[in-house]
Amino acid sequence: MPEPPHPDAGPAAAVPARRPDLFPPGLPVAGTLSRHASGRAWLARLPRLVREAAARWELRLSAPFDGGSCSWAAPVRLPDGGPAVLKVTWPHREAAGEAAALRAWDGHGAVRLLAHDPERHALLLERCVPGTTLLDAVPETDAGPEAERKAALPGAALSPSEAGRDAAPPGAALSPSEGLCRAADVLAELWRAPRPPDGELETVAAVCAEWADLVRARQDRLRPPYDPGLVELGATLLRELPATARRDVVVHGDFNPGNVLAAGGPRGWLAIDPKPMTGDPAYDPWPLLTQLDDPFAHPAPGDVLRARLRLLAGRLGEAPERLAAWGVARSVESALWSAAHDDVPGGAQELAEARTLAEVAGL
């Protein structure tokens, strides 16, 4: 066995850096996609796809991020040493428009698309540093009576000057109101983008019409112990809300607080991982509203939701009742999806949230 290099040895005697493990065991995408044949076939091709994309763009790869259920993503270095992210996606419907949406946003509110290889479904993306998610930046609050009272106060919503994008460092801990304001500003930027040419993105109306049919079919087939009136309300809203939108924008499609990252400096906060469509902007805020400092963990979730809806409505120019109605529609769709995937209790919890949102919306 060769001796280790002497502490005073020069660079030529240094131990070579270990190659990163690009496909470590337990990677979430492997666990998700190994459940079906097309996913297993893609996983078998993934090492080659990554190698080819890295060679095409002359990238230096690091170990992948520990996340993502339908894609492999890793920090990389560009030929000039600059940071970026390589993302290779399992081809599926929801991801089909990601490159088109990122091009439309052009770095405004979302990470920049640096390059796209449609054959390999590979994206070269701007890297967010420090990359803290909004979910991690907003700690869960004490859901006791005093916290509940403060969350429901009209003054809990920060003014635009108090909650501007750079009012606190992107890596700093934020209150729920501050986090909502940061995210609302990102959404407003995304919605200002010009729409891509017709056909590049699906429409909210078409997708939600399919969901409405699925909700009804799953309820009839599975007969879960859910309130049929509430299920029907959700299905009806999925069809009717898109038709009454005041404007048509590029929606993110999966605007949960884990998909909003701190980018530092003037870049502020940026969205990643869209499932984009064109249509009603009020479709977007639901996961942000319900996943940031879980309002349903508070003793009076309706009061917390009303305060947060007022905040979002004021910053986004959408009626709070409409935002809540979309929450009903999407919670019902999610509940029936859970029931169809052997999680009837989880669906029941989502339906309970839909009921609270319906009360807040006055439905």
Residues designated as active site: 254
Q: d(Cα 278, Cα 65) in Å, to the nearest integer?
A: 29
Q: Is-contact 281 247, C-beta < 8 A?
A: yes
Instruction: Provide the CB-side half-sphere exposure for 173 (13 A, CA).
Output: 4
Q: Which of 311, 301, 289 is nearest to 155 (CA)?
A: 311
Q: d(Cα 70, Cα 75) in Å, to the nearest integer?
A: 17
Q: d(Cα 231, Cα 236) in Å, to the nearest integer?
A: 9
Q: Is-contact 57 115, C-beta < 8 A?
A: yes
Q: Which two tokens stand for residue 137?
A: 């930046």
Partners of 113 in beta bridges: 125
Angle value at C-alpha 170, between 165 and 175, nearest 5 degrees:
80
Provide φ and ψ at 72, rounded to 5°: -110, 130
Q: Which of 361, 362, 339, 363 is nearest to 350 (CA)?
A: 339
Q: Is-contact 263 270, C-beta < 8 A?
A: yes
Provide φ and ψ at 296, rounded to 5°: -80, -5
Q: Which two tokens stand for residue 176?
A: 């729920």
Burial of 80 (0-12, 13-18, 19+ CB in 10 A): exposed
SS3 26: coil
